[in-house]
Amino acid sequence: MPTLATGLQRLDIGQFRNIETARLAFSPGLNLITGPNAAGKTSLLEAVYCLGRVHSFRTTDPNQLIRHGQAAFRVVGRVGLPDGRVIPVGIQRRPGNYEIHLEGRPLRRLSDLAGRFPIHLMTGDTANILSGGPRYRRQSLDWALFHVEPGYRNAWQRYARALRQRNAALRDHAPAVQVTVWDSELVSAATSLDRLRRDYLKDLSGHVARELTLLLPGKKFAIRYQSGWAKDLTLAEALKKSLDKDRSRGYTQPGPHRADYAVLVDDWPARTHYSRGQQKSIIVGFLLGQVKLQHALEVPKGIFLLDDLASELDVEYQARVLSGLAELETQVFVTAIDTRSLDLGAWPVHKRFHVEHGTIREVVQ
Ligand SMILES: Nc1ncnc2c1ncn2[C@@H]1O[C@H](COP(=O)(O)OP(=O)(O)OP(=O)(O)O)[C@@H](O)[C@H]1O
Ligand SMILES: [Mg+2]
């Protein structure tokens, strides 16, 4: 169980989506948010997410978050840190301008906020990790590695820069030597990226496998990584081999920018072989494994948001997911339309909130 008063203790919301105002005190354990369609459940999660990440998971246009007809939204929270301190965090948006405060001071770098208050999120879109294109898997891999591996961001930036320059030379039909001049930097950065990704996925698959013993008992889990170029070649060889094709296409084909991984359960591809409920369980297992690995690597504990627990899952699967979440020992926010049949045995510490037409009230039990 969470020992802690860590996590989001209080939240004040003003004019965010359909929520006019709300003043909430959360449980350090599970916070269950219920209500009918269009009540404002996802909007509440979005407000929490926005406090930690300064953007939304639903829109790239932050002005959409301002309640219709209003000039600004405001979200202010009190976050309990593992060292026992409680810090205020606030964010206010007027069209075209964000003001962010951490501990009473304007914030210079967004990473300060993300580092103090990591937020893990599962929505319907998270299924893209399994069913979407390679881009989604690379994004999730990069995001995770930025958090746990100090050297990753630097290697990633070096690689992106060399790739951009090489592709510009290819697009401009520059002489071959102006293309290959980037190869050694590309290969050097790619070697770091590839090694860090490989090591990370190996550790991750161990953690996910453990989560799945609870979520999908008896199934064997594996991740099959593809580096982005032919297995039997080094990247330097692959670049040499594809130079003519790259020049006629106008971009670089082989490299970590085309990496991907397949998720296999009992040797079957998770994305094509399993039922919707099983797939959702695999994704939950994947995220839980990711968070457990972060905890093992001493990334500060954050909070976990799960939108729409019940979609695709029967009550038995829902109970397993809630047990899996309980083992994270972090604060959790879960939305669902109806929770009457939910088994909360794993969560002695919890609160319920009911949302209707943008009004949120705590359900006293
Ligand atoms: N800027 C805004 N101002 C006012 N209302 C908005 C704004 N943006 C979205 N809404 C409305 O807020 C309502 C709540 O949406 P939300 O997605 O939070 O509902 P929900 O409770 O998660 O519903 P569901 O169970 O269907 O997922 C919707 O009717 C939506 O159209
Ligand atoms: Mg919703």
Q: How many whole angstroms separate alpha carbon 305 and alpha carbon 48? A: 9
Of the candidates 201, 223, 59, 70, which has an alpha carbon nearest to the alpha carbon of residue 142?
Answer: 201
Give yes or no for residue 2 having a pLDDT over 60. no
Q: Is 269 a domain residue?
A: no
Domain co-membership, 136 together with 245 = yes
Cβ neighbors of 77 (< 8 A, separation 6 or more) are 8, 9, 10, 11, 12, 48, 51, 88, 89, 90
Which CATH number is 112's domain given?
A: 3.40.50.300
34 lines ligand 1 (CB under 6 A): no
Distance from Cα 40 to the centre of ligand 1, integer Å: 5
Structure tokens at 247: 């020049």
The arithmetic mean of pLDDT across residues 209-238, rounded, is 96
Domain co-membership, 136 together with 253 = yes
Residue ending a domain, among 264, 282, 316, is 264
Cβ distance 24 to 362 under 8 Å? yes
Residue ending a domain, among 205, 236, 264, is 264
Q: Would you state the pLDDT for residue 110?
A: 66
Q: Would you state the pLDDT for residue 112?
A: 67
Q: Is 1 a domain residue?
A: no
197 lines ligand 1 (CB under 6 A): no
Q: Would you state the pLDDT for residue 1?
A: 42
Cβ distance 217 to 281 under 8 Å? no
Q: Which atom of ligand 1 is nearest to the CA of 65?
A: 1
Residue 78 three-state SS = strand
| Phi then psi dihedrals of residue 188, to 5 deg | -65, -45
Domain co-membership, 313 together with 243 = no
In which band, very low, low, confident or very high, does the pLDDT at 359 lie, cut at 50, 70 and 90?
Answer: very high
Name the amino acid, one letter, at 331.
Q
Give yes or no for residue 47 having a pLDDT over 90. yes
Which residue segment(s) compose the domain that 87 sits in? Answer: 7-118+300-363
Q: Which atom of ligand 1 is nearest to the CA of 337?
A: 25
Alpha-carbon distance values, 87 to 23, 51, 90, 104, 116 (Å): 17, 13, 10, 9, 10
Give yes or no for residue 168 having a pLDDT over 60. yes
Q: How many whole angstroms separate alpha carbon 280 and alpha carbon 321? A: 10
Q: Which atom of ligand 1 is nearest to the CA of 44?
A: 18
Nearest ligand to the C-alpha of residue 66? 1
Distance from Cα 363 to the centre of ligand 2, integer Å: 19
Q: How many whole angstroms separate alpha carbon 297 and alpha carbon 148? A: 7
Count the residues in the chain: 365
93 lines ligand 1 (CB under 6 A): no
Of the candidates 333, 332, 260, 328, which has an alpha carbon nearest to the alpha carbon of residue 299?
Answer: 328
In which band, very low, low, confident or very high, does the pLDDT at 117 lie, cut at 50, 70 and 90?
Answer: confident
The arithmetic mean of pLDDT across residues 193-215, rounded, is 96
Cβ distance 49 to 305 under 8 Å? yes
Q: Would you state the pLDDT for residue 333?
A: 98
Name the amino acid, one letter, at 363.
V
More reliable by pLDDT, 302 or 191: 191
How, if at all, do strands 303-306 and 331-336 pair? parallel
Nearest residue CA, atom 31 of ligand 1? 38
Structure tokens at 32: 């269950």
Distance from Cα 336 to the centre of ligand 1, integer Å: 14
Domain co-membership, 71 together with 139 = no
How, if at all, do strands 97-102 and 86-94 pair? antiparallel
Cβ neighbors of 196 (< 8 A, separation 6 or more) are 145, 149, 151, 152, 155
Count of domains in the chain? Answer: 2
Residue ending a domain, among 246, 264, 282, is 264
Which CATH number is 238's domain given?
A: 1.20.1050.90
Of the candidates 43, 29, 132, 106, which has an alpha carbon nearest to the alpha carbon of residue 346?
Answer: 29
Domain co-membership, 159 together with 84 = no
Domain co-membership, 224 together with 100 = no
Cβ distance 46 to 18 under 8 Å? no
Q: Which atom of ligand 1 is nearest to the CA of 46?
A: 18
Distance from Cα 18 to the centre of ligand 1, integer Å: 6
Q: How many whole angstroms separate alpha carbon 17 and alpha carbon 67? A: 5
Quote the crossing angle between the two packed helices 183-215 and 152-171, to the nearest 10°.
130
Nearest ligand to the C-alpha of residue 123? 2
Nearest residue CA, atom 18 of ligand 1? 40
In which band, very low, low, confident or very high, does the pLDDT at 281 lie, cut at 50, 70 and 90?
Answer: very high
How large a percentage of the chain has pLDDT more than 90? Answer: 80
Domain co-membership, 43 together with 70 = yes
Categorise residue 307: left if φ over 0, alpha if ψ from -120 to 50, beta otherwise.
beta
Q: Would you state the pLDDT for residue 111?
A: 66
| Phi then psi dihedrals of residue 38, to 5 deg | 65, 15
Q: Is 124 a domain residue?
A: no
Cβ distance 300 to 322 under 8 Å? no
Lowest mean pLDDT among 109-113, 234-238, 280-284: 109-113
Domain co-membership, 253 together with 180 = yes
Distance from Cα 108 to the centre of ligand 1, integer Å: 31
In which band, very low, low, confident or very high, does the pLDDT at 116 lie, cut at 50, 70 and 90?
Answer: confident
Q: Would you state the pLDDT for residue 3?
A: 47
Mutate to test the pocket of ligand 1, among 17, 57, 73 (most ligand atoms within 8 A of CB): 17
The arithmetic mean of pLDDT across residues 340-362, rounded, is 94
Residue 1 three-state SS = coil
Beta bridge partners of 222: 264
The average confidence (pLDDT) of the chain is 93
Distance from Cα 73 to the centre of ligand 1, integer Å: 15
Strand (E) or helix (H) holding 156: helix 152-171
Q: Would you state the pLDDT for residue 202?
A: 96
Question: If DSSP states are collapsed to H, E and C, what string results for 219-264?
Answer: CCEEEEEECCCCCCCCHHHHHHHCHHHHHHHCCCCCCHHHCEEEEE
Domain co-membership, 184 together with 108 = no
Q: Would you state the pLDDT for residue 136?
A: 94
pLDDT in tens, 52-91: 888 899 999 999 999 999 999 999 999 998 788 898 999 9
Q: Is 98 a domain residue?
A: yes
Distance from Cα 335 to the centre of ligand 1, integer Å: 13
Q: Is 288 a domain residue?
A: no
Nearest residue CA, atom 9 of ligand 1? 17
pLDDT in tens, 300-350: 888 999 999 999 999 999 999 999 999 999 999 999 998 888 899 999 999
The arithmetic mean of pLDDT across residues 157-180, rounded, is 97
